[in-house]
Amino acid sequence: MAEVKNNGVITLSLGITNCFLIPAGDNYLLVDTAHITYYSKFKQELEYKAIKLTQIKFIFLTHHHQDHTGFLADLLEESGATLIAHQKALPFLEQGINNPDMTGTTSLIRFLMKPQKFFATKNVNKKVVPGKNAFIIDSDDDTFLREQGIPAKIISLPAHTSDSIALIFDNGDSFIGDAAMNILLFMGLKNRPLVAENSIDLKNCWSKIKNENGKTLFVSHGKPLNIDVLMKRMF
């Protein structure tokens, strides 16, 4: 596979979720899938850009929540892509559920959203059982993507969810899922996600991104962030 030219990143805003197509030669790595109701729109966007489903060779899953895995099952089946995910995502993918063990990252959100009820353990997606060609990690990895000609590493960011991972390119472009957000700032989030399994560790995850040379942060919700701006807002 030819080396990625990362300035060709295509952002697909599907509902509340940004998905990212990263070119690798004539093919692509896709970061996340949006809610299942956006699959038709996703395919339309590909058609407009003259991209075939079979050109998606890798699907990088930042974490298991339904707004990131909505049409994952269908896309894996139709594209034949290799899934890249953390092993802690597998129980939720295989059941088609969200982890209900979440809490709001501010007292206001905890009051307003009652996230234990919001993230009830019910089927929200088609079940996904990774195929034999899936690449499942349990720790940081700096070799797999390079072997595919993609100059990037995978790091674990266990705060928003225990299975959260990020993709950091050598040029500093970083795809971090919900490790940070750039919306709803009026709620006092300071770029935190609405909910997290371990909100205390969000600080450590942001520091890790910076230490791993993350610079421009492509987040799943909102516009990209600069790591230095994010660190100044650290709560």
pLDDT digits (tens, 9 = 90+) for 73-104: 999 999 999 999 999 999 999 999 998 888 88
Give the Cα separation of 218 and 177 in Å (integer). Answer: 8
| pLDDT (0 to 100) of residue 233 | 79
Secondary structure (DSSP) of the chain: -PPB-GGG-EEEEETTEEEEEEEETTEEEEE-B--GGGHHHHHHHHHHTT--GGGEEEEE-S---HHHHTTHHHHHHHH-PEEEEEGGGHHHHHHT------EESSHHHHHHH-HHHHT-SS--S------TT-EEESS-BSSHHHHTT--EEEEE-TTSSTT-EEEEETTSEEEEETSS-BS-GGGT-TT--SEES-GGGHHHHHHHHHHTT--EEEESSBS-EEHHHHHHT--
The CATH number of 6-232 is 3.60.15.10
Residue 28 has pLDDT above 80, yes or no: yes
Give the sheet arrangement for strand 225-226, strand by strand. Answer: 152-156, 165-169, 173-177, 216-219, 225-226
Token code pair at residue 127: 């079940």
Residue 21 banded pLDDT, cuts 50, 70, 90: very high
pLDDT recorded at residue 4 = 43
In terms of Cα–Cα distance, which of 11, 7, 10, 22 is closest to 167?
A: 22
**Which residue type occupies 123?**
N
The two three-digit tokens of residue 135, written as one number: 């690449």
pLDDT tens digits along 111-124: 776 645 555 556 67
Tell me the average pLDDT of the chain: 90
Q: What is the pLDDT of residue 203?
A: 93
For 156-206, write each residue's pLDDT tens digit: 999 999 999 999 999 999 999 999 999 887 778 889 998 889 988 999 999
Residue 230 has pLDDT above 90, yes or no: yes
Count of Cβ atoms closer than 10 Å to residue 111 Cβ: 9
pLDDT digits 0-9 by tens, 54-77: 999 999 999 999 999 999 999 999
